[in-house]
Amino acid sequence: MPLSERVELIFQDVVKRNPGEVEFHQAVKEVLESVAPVLVKYPEFAEAKIIERICEPERQTIFRVPWVDDNGQVQINRGFRIQFNSALGPYKGGLRFHPSVYLGIIKFLGFEQIFKNSLTGLPIGGAKGGSDFDPKGKSNGEVMRFCQSFMTELYRIIGEHTDVPAGDIGVGGREIGYLFGQYRKLTRRFDGALTGKSLNWGGSNLRPEATGYGAVYFANDMLSTRGESVQGKTAAVSGSGNVAQYTVEKLNTLGARVVTLSDSNGTIVDMDGISGEKLAWVMELKNVRRGRISEYANHFKGAQYLAGKRPWSVPCDLAFPSATQNEIEEDDARQLVQNGCYCVSEGANMPSHADAVEVFLDAKILYGPGKAANAGGVAVSGLEMNQNAGCMRRSREDVDAQLRTIMHSIHENCVKYGRENGFVNYVKGANIAGFVKVADAMVQQGYV
Ligand code: NDP
């Protein structure tokens, strides 16, 4: 049977075994399409059933999370931890708290994480977890009680050498603090079982900044293949959370002009640029007051609020989707390209729908998929684990230099495996480079 047919059958089996998990199917399909052509070179992968095994998580844990709200009412949420692949090291991947979370979302994120973590060159396996809990509109006390209940179950399966969670959507410094406090109380251990910790108690310099900074470094590396940089360019950024904020900060430092931010209700457009001073206001709005991005347009005259809209109709040279999965659909991608956007660096995970990815690849623009472009976050988390194990802390400059080196080496690997007739297909490059390393490790470690 031809190889492409065999891979298609494996994919159909994944769909059958994981019904209704559309985001997981989307993530698997993309990777299988990229790696199928190279499998001819590696008969040992087929013999060891690497594709079939890599699509099946090593372990999936689903648990009840009961907690009491401020009115004394009992609330029930569902918790997940998908330990997808540990061939390269302890499981590593964030926790997402968002009402849209279900098994298919956590599985797509965990699957992507395997290849992303492999690309960083660090010894970390892939995992993801989370809950359908919505931190929005909850008091600090409610968030704390939820986190404590969540950790009361999760602590049984994590640890500095087994599985090391971090943040993601809805899980920032506040949530990591509450989670770590409960972990420490339950285990009587102060160790590196979580990353994204505060700098005062075991965190790494530059962890909050790492994903956003890394996405900008990756864009700069992609632009350098055309003798350009982000300097002087106009950028559209989506989201207004952790990744978006530090993407804007780094773009400002490197001389670009950022004209948009958004949240799930709408987009603000500020053609004067979201300067450092305006960004500081946004950080206070989102991280302290936990307000909505629409308030920006009331505060800064000249800015416009587009209710219910995404940023992709705003003309720009560079786009940094930094909110959530499938936030760029086919029409958005066409509009971006028509308006002159020629570099997309994904801070978010799988923000471009498969049809949108096709548009970018057909137009031969510089398109950096999330598993490569946003790997800076997990890379610095890996460095945090390393610092915790050695009871030491690296300086901000040192971590930044390592982050740049890692992003640069991911870029080089994408170019190595993704070059096609003078064009770099970063999707193919990232998937093949990430996959081959994990597959080799799985072959060497036997059928486990
Ligand atoms: P945050 O919770 O800090 O911010 C998320 C932002 O995205 C908010 O502005 C939020 O708006 C918006 N958003 C969330 N869901 C939706 C939705 N369904 N539609 C539109 N907007 C939405 O999360 P992060 O910044 O940490 O994460 C952003 C993305 O980056 C995610 O895809 C995450 O997986 C990815 N990522 C994060 C890393 C990290 O280190 N934090 C590492 C690698 C990837 P609202 O307030 O309205 O919900």
pLDDT per position as a tens digit, 87-123: 999 999 999 999 999 999 999 999 999 999 999 999 9
| Residue from 238, 250, 324 whose mutation best tests the ligand 1 pocket (most atoms within 8 A of CB) | 324
130 in helix, strand or coil?
Answer: strand
Ligand 1 center to 447 CA (angstroms) = 37
pLDDT, tens digit (0-9, with 9 covering 90-100), for 122-180:
999 999 999 999 999 999 999 999 999 999 999 999 999 999 999 999 999 999 999 99
Domain residue ranges of the chain, discontinuous segments joined by +? 1-56+428-448, 59-189, 210-373
Among candidate residues 92, 107, 116, 128, the one labeled active-site is 128
- Range 214-221 average pLDDT: 98
Under DSSP, the state recorded for 352 is B
Contact assessment for residue 310 and residue 332, using Cβ atoms and an 8 Å cutoff: yes
Question: Does the C-beta of 260 come closer than 6 Å to ligand 1?
Answer: no
Give the E-state strand segments of 286-368 in sequence order. 304-307, 318-320, 343-345, 366-368
Residue 201 pLDDT grade (very low, low, confident, very high; cuts 50, 70, 90): very high
Atom 13 (ligand 1) nearest CA: 323
How high is the pLDDT of residue 246? Answer: 98
Q: Nearest Cα to 63, choosing from 156, 159, 200?
A: 156
Cβ of 135 closer than 6 Å to ligand 1, yes or no, is no
Q: Is 311 in the pocket of ligand 1 (CB under 6 A)?
A: no
Closest ligand 1 atom to 350 CA: 32
**Closest C-alpha among 239, 174, 247, 237 to residue 210:** 247
Q: Is the pLDDT of residue 5 over 90?
A: no
Between 339 and 2, where is the model more confident? 339
Q: What is the pLDDT of residue 173?
A: 97
Q: DSSP strand E in 270-384: where?
A: 304-307, 318-320, 343-345, 366-368
**Confidence category of residue 4, pLDDT binned at 50, 70, 90:** confident
Residue with tokens 């005062």: 200
In angstroms, rounded to a whole number, what is the distance separating the alpha carbons of residues 426 and 364?
A: 11
* pLDDT higher than 80, residue 3: no
For atom 29 of ligand 1, which residue has the closest CA?
348
pLDDT single digits (tens) 285-306: 999 999 999 999 999 999 999 9
Tokens 């066409």 sit at which residue? 334
Ligand 1 atom with the shortest distance to the CA of 347: 30
pLDDT in tens, 242-294: 999 999 999 999 999 999 999 999 999 999 999 999 999 999 999 999 999 99
Identify the residue whose tokens are 């308030």. Answer: 295
Query: Can you tell me whether residue 182 is helix, strand or coil?
Result: helix
Mean pLDDT (the chain, rounded):
97
Euclidean distance between CA atoms 100 and 103, whole angstroms: 10
Q: Which two tokens stand for residue 34?
A: 């990229």
Residue 1 has pLDDT above 90, yes or no: no
Same fold for the domain at 1-56+428-448 and the one at 210-373? no
Ramachandran area for residue 66 (φ above 0: left; ψ -120 to 50: alpha; else beta): beta
210: which 2 tokens?
Answer: 């790492």
Report the nearest atom of ligand 1 relative to the CA of 243.
Answer: 25
State the closest ligand 1 atom to the C-alpha of 100, by its place in the atom list counted from 1. 18
Active site residue 364: no
Task: Tell me the CATH number for domain 59-189.
Answer: 3.40.50.10860
Which residues are CB-contacts of 186 (< 8 A; sequence separation ≥ 6)?
A: 151, 152, 155
**322-380 tens-digit pLDDT:** 999 999 999 999 999 999 999 999 999 999 999 999 999 999 999 999 999 999 999 99
Fold of 210-373: Rossmann fold (3.40.50)
The rounded distance, in Å, linking the Cα atoms of 120 and 413 is 10
Place of tokens 């979370």: 101
CA atoms within 13 A on the CB side of 255: 6
Q: Is the minimum distance from the CB of 243 to ligand 1 under 6 angstroms?
A: yes
What whole-number distance in Å separates Cα of residue 447 and Cα of residue 429?
A: 27
pLDDT at 211 over 80: yes
How far apart CA 380 and CA 215 sit, in angstroms, is: 13
SS3 string, 203-258, reads CCCCHHHHHHHHHHHHHHHHHHCCCCCCCCCEEEECCCCHHHHHHHHHHHHCCCEE
Residue 6: predicted pLDDT:
87
Q: How far apart are CA 125 and CA 82, in angstroms?
A: 12
Judged against a pLDDT cut of 70, whether residue 2 lies above it is answered with no
Q: Which fold has domain 1-56+428-448?
A: Glutamate Dehydrogenase; Chain A, domain 3 (1.10.285)
β-pair partners for 313:
none
Please give the C-alpha separations between residue 373 and each of 1, 4, 119, 267, 325, in angstroms, as whole numbers.
36, 28, 10, 23, 14
Q: Is the dihedral of CA 405, 409, 415, 418 positive or negative?
A: negative
Predicted TM-score (pTM) of the model is: 0.97
324 touches ligand 1 (CB under 6 Å) = yes
**Ligand 1 pocket, residue 384 CB under 6 Å:** no
* Atom number of ligand 1 nearest to Cα 245: 25
Say if residue 240's pLDDT is above 90: yes
- Which residues contact residue 370 at a Cβ distance below 8 angstroms, ignoring those fewer than 6 apart? 112, 116, 346, 347, 348, 349, 350, 351
- The CA 26 to ligand 1 mean position distance, Å, reads 19
Ligand 1 within 6 A of CB of 211: yes
Distance CA 296, CA 28 (A): 38
Ligand 1 neighbourhood includes 348 CB (under 6 angstroms): yes
Neighbours of 13 (CB within 10 A): 13
Q: What tens digit of pLDDT does each residue of 407-421 get?
A: 999 999 999 999 999
Query: Among 278, 365, 281, 276, which residue's Cα sits nearest to residue 319?
Result: 365
Which run of H or of E encompasses 434? Answer: helix 426-444
- Which residue carries 């509450």 as its tokens? 178
